[in-house]
Amino acid sequence: MKKIGILFLCYSLVAGLEVNAPEAYESLLGNCSSNSDCSIQYVCTEGTCAHKELFPLSSLDILFTVIATFVNGLGTAGGVGEGALIIPYLILIGKYTITKATSLAYAIVFGGVVGNLLNIIWVSNEKDQKPLINYDINLLVIPGLLIGVPFGVVLHTVLSPSIIYGLILKILVFFIFKIGVRLYKARKESQPQSPVLQMGSPEEIEALAPANPQNEISVIKESYAEEDTLEKEEKVKRTLEQGQQDDKSRDLFPAEKYQEIFFIVLALVATTFLKGSKNFESIVGIGFCSVGYWSMDVVNVVIMSLLFLRNSSLVKKWQNQRESQGYSLSADEIKFDNKKLLLIFALSVFAGLMGGTLSIGGALILAPFLLNWGMSPKAVVATTGFFIVFTMFSSTVETMMYGQIGSSEFVWFALINFVFSFATSRILHQYVQKSKKENIILLVLVIGGLISLCMMVYLTFDLFSTSYTYMKTFSSFCV
């Protein structure tokens, strides 16, 4: 299975580079009198070459759909919703501009993360049977993400291609480094230690040896029996103290927390419909790019900030209640203080900004901090897989309302990636569980990241040498 994945990724690199180098930029193609005057994937529309509609599908449309869906499926199964992995294929094979490719990546990643979510949402922690998803983290992260996303969508529209290409290159390098480090640590931990290393040095063994060798076995037995008894007593005491509170914490779908998430979604939908956009009229008549339009972004910041403060208060309240009942935090739970809450909010806003600009879910920005705070990799993957859905949903809605994604494009890419990612996530995790080869997904992700990086480097140098003016040109959001 590993060889199949690697071969497919290598083929995708060859396919991307073999297709004629793109002149996938409407502003560079000039006037035309027929389709033959335009480059591949472009048609003559009112005397100007423009990218063809998605339907009817061409051979290149099918090719980049298959490759992008495969790469996205691996990414979502590995806990990262990264549009940066698939954008190069949309540009090189699909012949889209960087702005259009990023917009389509929103729909692709959104469909994938929803499919993956349907697998992880039912999973509980093997140690304490609590949800693997940390809903407290999501209540704190989602409001910040939804503050940053609308501003990121504006930046992805107005920034020059050179800046977008540069940011994507940095994200890919960061992605490869982080996943590579995880792969290295995972492989190192999976290697069995020799008995000598596990026992320690000769001096340490001698120091631990009992004074009377004849009583060695009895001393060890007594020691283990005493530790086992104390551990059992402590476990029974903790179970009695936690009582009903512990039963509630094991609900896979905690009602009080989903209620708060519903309030966040309701606020997002309300501000979105009140604000309107270029291709979607506001329900209260606010004009596109008017003072009222931009004021709604300020209103969104205020509402989401208030929801974050509310959720922070609730999370600390629930935490204090558990501690007062003698409940000790599990390995995948985080003790929150004001400093940590402020850091989470700042990181979430930044992650949302980058998510709207580059079609990334925010996992790469937030996951390292969650790991450093003691969460297990499995819990981090499940937790980030939940909030990525909100990042991609908000980004997709914003771009659809602006007219950068058509309804047919959204249905095509989101539906295919939903089905494929759902199946891929389930198959890969079952395969890993049976084979105990937990490094396969990480290895394929690293190789996929390297291939995407090679393609982006090629594109960047090619466009700077042939279309320098285009690469430095900024666009207007309000036109």
**Calpha distance 84→175 (Å, rounded):** 9
* Residue whose tokens read 């051979």: 59
Q: What's residue 81's pLDDT?
A: 66
The residue-averaged pLDDT of 362-382 equals 82
Whether 291 shows a pLDDT value over 90: the answer reads yes
Q: What's residue 418's pLDDT?
A: 95
Whether 213 shows a pLDDT value over 70: the answer reads no
Q: What's residue 359's pLDDT?
A: 82
**Calpha distance 380→374 (Å, rounded):** 10
Whether 269 shows a pLDDT value over 70: the answer reads yes
Whether 243 shows a pLDDT value over 60: the answer reads no
Closest CA to 410 of 421, 395, 400, 419: 400
Q: What's residue 466's pLDDT?
A: 83
Whether 210 shows a pLDDT value over 60: the answer reads no
Q: Are the beta carbons of 432 and 121 closer than 8 angstroms?
A: no
Task: Give the distance, in angstroms, between the CA of residue 377 and the centroid of all CA atoms in the same chain.
Answer: 14
The residue-averaged pLDDT of 164-179 equals 86
Q: Name the pLDDT band for 28 (thresholds 50, 70, 90).
A: very low
Three-state secondary structure string covering 17-81: HHCCCCCCCHHHHCECCCHHHCCCCEEEECCEEEECCCCCCCHHHHHHHHHHHHHHHHHHHCCCC
Work out the mean pLDDT of the chain and round it to a whole number. Answer: 81
Whether 167 shows a pLDDT value over 60: the answer reads yes
Number of Cβ atoms within 10 Å of the Cβ of 312: 20
Q: What's residue 23's pLDDT?
A: 42
Q: Residue 265 corresponds to which amino acid?
A: V
Q: Are the beta carbons of 351 and 134 closer than 8 angstroms?
A: no
For the CA atoms of 14, 357, 338, 135, the dihedral, rounded to the nearest 10 degrees, stands at -60
For residue 73, give every residue at least 6 positions away whose Cβ sits within 8 Å of its Cβ, in sequence order, or none: 112, 417, 420, 421, 423, 424, 425
What's the first-to-final CA gap in the chain, in angstroms? 49
Q: Give the residue with greater pLDDT, 472 vs 330.
A: 472
Percent of the chain past pLDDT 90, that is, above it, reads 35
C-alpha dihedral sign at 73, 76, 78, 83: positive
346-356, pLDDT tens digit by residue?
A: 999 999 999 88
Q: What's residue 249's pLDDT?
A: 62
Q: Residue 346 corresponds to which amino acid?
A: A
The residue-averaged pLDDT of 401-407 equals 90
Q: What's residue 397's pLDDT?
A: 92
Q: What's residue 24's pLDDT?
A: 41
Of the candidate ranges 34-43, 265-274, 372-381, the one whose mean pLDDT is the lowest: 372-381
Q: Name the pLDDT band for 108 (thresholds 50, 70, 90).
A: very high
Q: Name the pLDDT band for 207 (thresholds 50, 70, 90).
A: low
Q: Give the residue with greater pLDDT, 175 vs 335.
A: 335
Q: What's residue 458's pLDDT?
A: 87
Whether 17 shows a pLDDT value over 50: the answer reads no
Q: Is 325 exposed, middle or buried (0-12, 13-18, 19+ CB in 10 A)?
A: middle
Q: What's residue 238's pLDDT?
A: 52
The residue-averaged pLDDT of 200-214 equals 51
Q: What's residue 22's pLDDT?
A: 47
Cα Rg of the chain (Å, integer):
26
Q: Name the pLDDT band for 131 (thresholds 50, 70, 90).
A: confident
Taking the model in full, what pTM does it have?
A: 0.79
Closest CA to 295 of 304, 286, 284: 286
Q: Give the residue with greater pLDDT, 414 vs 177.
A: 414
Q: Is 344 exposed, middle or buried (0-12, 13-18, 19+ CB in 10 A)?
A: buried
Q: What's residue 294's pLDDT?
A: 95
Whether 262 shows a pLDDT value over 90: the answer reads yes
Task: Give the distance, in angstroms, between the CA of residue 437 and the centroid of all CA atoms in the same chain.
Answer: 23
Whether 215 shows a pLDDT value over 70: the answer reads no
Most confident of 3-12, 214-223, 361-370: 361-370
The residue-averaged pLDDT of 439-464 equals 81
- Reading the block at residue 377, the tokens are 């990799």
